[in-house]
Amino acid sequence: MILSKLSLLNFKNYDQIELNVSPYVNCFLGKNGMGKTNILDGIYYLSNCKSFFNSVDSQNIKNEEDFFVLEGEFDGEENKEKIYCGVKRGKKKVFKKGKKEYEKLSDHIGLINTVLISPMDTNLIYEGSETRRKFIDLIISQYDKLYLKTLINYNKVLNHRNAYLKSLQQGMKFDSLSLEIWNEQLITLGKEVHTKRTEFISEFKIVFTEIYNAISGREEHIKLSYSSQLAETEFKDLLTESLHKEKYLGYTTKGTHKDDFSFEIGGKSLKKFGSQGQQKTYLIALKLAQFKHIESKTESKPILLLDDIYDKLDESRISHLMEQICEGTFGQVFITDTNTERLPKFFKKKKYECFAFEIDEGNLVS
């Protein structure tokens, strides 16, 4: 899918803005804090039904307003789609394809795929396992509807099981039959999630390693691995062994919701021993591998969103990335930059189509 028109109303720092964009490269230029990143987030929102930067929908509404609206017109190979998102304080979020509202937001995932590269990607290194699981789950969900459904159902059953364990803390009599019902469902769904994640990481790490070495200009011993409690012990045995502890704690301590993905370089933790340059390269390689993996699975290029890319890589590596853009490697691209001349000059020199938009305090200057 290619975005052709974007509209933001009361979204973050925007009163209202409408943009007709290029199917190739679009640059949003201006000082920090002007709203460049918010445009990229609006595109991400229309793809993933949520903000990349703020998961609380109401906090994306412009100050003192009651709602925000995002609209995008997308061109596919065979059809065009108009996507609408409306969020009103205290109301259910509304997502529409054409004039038809989605019954479930999950039905929209995978229609418009995006990959966003942002300075906030460092959260993948420094935050907990949940952040890394969400990253991996989003990639798989963008091309595998069954996986997304399984994951949603797993989390529903997990919530029910946790509620049951919590009730035991509050004096409810233990009923082994009730627990067994939740256990059987959790085990079946958890095994499916674990299998999909295992298959994913075996394919993904090959692409990731190739991209890392291409960006860094040298081969380094890097490792991306998947750790799960289910790898060595049957899920049923894990739940049986942990039951006594879980009755006391009031929640489920074992399962695929505890999985993690580890990042290593030179046989050591990237977080503790990787240089700033190595960490930046690792994260860029992860996101570009995400792009390549989704493209291979869907036979379609995702929309690439590059936020403040000059903060992430040195000049030579940025030039390498920009050359790939001009070769058509990434399809439609949206880039932000604080320098209002750098990107337009580069793409003009390469004779590659580039739409440049200068943004000032939520307004389109040019």
pLDDT tens digits, 232-265:
999 999 999 999 999 999 999 999 999 999 999 9
Mean pLDDT of all residues in 50-65: 93
Least confident span in 291-295, 354-358, 361-365: 361-365
Residue-by-residue DSSP string for 202-218: HHHHHHHHHHHHHHHTS
pLDDT digits (tens, 9 = 90+) for 140-176: 999 999 999 999 999 999 999 999 999 988 888 888 8
Q: Which residue has the tokens 């790939």?
A: 324
Which pair of tokens denotes residue 9? 């109303």
**What is the chain's mean pLDDT, rounded?**
92
Sheet holding 2-9, edge to edge: 16-20, 2-9, 67-75, 80-88, 94-97, 100-101
Q: How far apart are CA 68 and CA 36, in angstroms?
A: 17
Q: Specify the residue for token string 């769904």.
A: 189
Tens-place pLDDT, residues 66-85: 999 999 999 987 789 999 99
What pLDDT band is residue 324 in, cutting at 50, 70 and 90?
A: confident
* Confidence at residue 143, expressed as pLDDT on a 0 to 100 scale: 94
Residue 317 has pLDDT above 90, yes or no: no
What the block records as the tokens of 293 is 């993996």
Largest CA distance in the chain: 75
d(CA 140, CA 162): 26
> For the chain, what percent of residues have pLDDT higher than 70?
99
**Residue 35 pLDDT > 90:** yes
pLDDT confidence band for 183 (50 / 70 / 90): very high
Query: How long a stretch of residues is the chain?
Result: 366
E-assigned strands of 204-293? 222-227, 260-265, 268-269
Q: What is the pLDDT of residue 366?
A: 67
| 213-236 mean pLDDT | 89
Residues 108-119: tens digit of each pLDDT: 999 999 999 998
In sign, the C-alpha dihedral spanning 343, 344, 348, 354 is: positive
Dig out the tokens for 66 from the structure.
């009651």
| Dihedral, 50, 80, 115, 21 alpha carbons, nearest 10 | -100
| pLDDT(304) > 90 | yes
> pLDDT at position 62, please?
93
What is the predicted pLDDT for the residue at 182?
94
Return d(Cα 112, Cα 142) in angstroms, integer: 8
Identify the pLDDT of residue 111: 93
d(CA 365, CA 349) in angstroms, rounded, equals: 23
How much is the pTM?
0.92
- Those residues with Cβ within 8 angstroms of residue 266's Cβ, 6 or more apart along the chain or in another chain: 220, 221, 273
Residue type at position 47: S
- Rounded Cα gap, residues 223 and 208, in angstroms: 9
Q: CATH number of the domain at 125-299, please?
A: 1.20.1050.90
Position 155 scores a pLDDT of 97
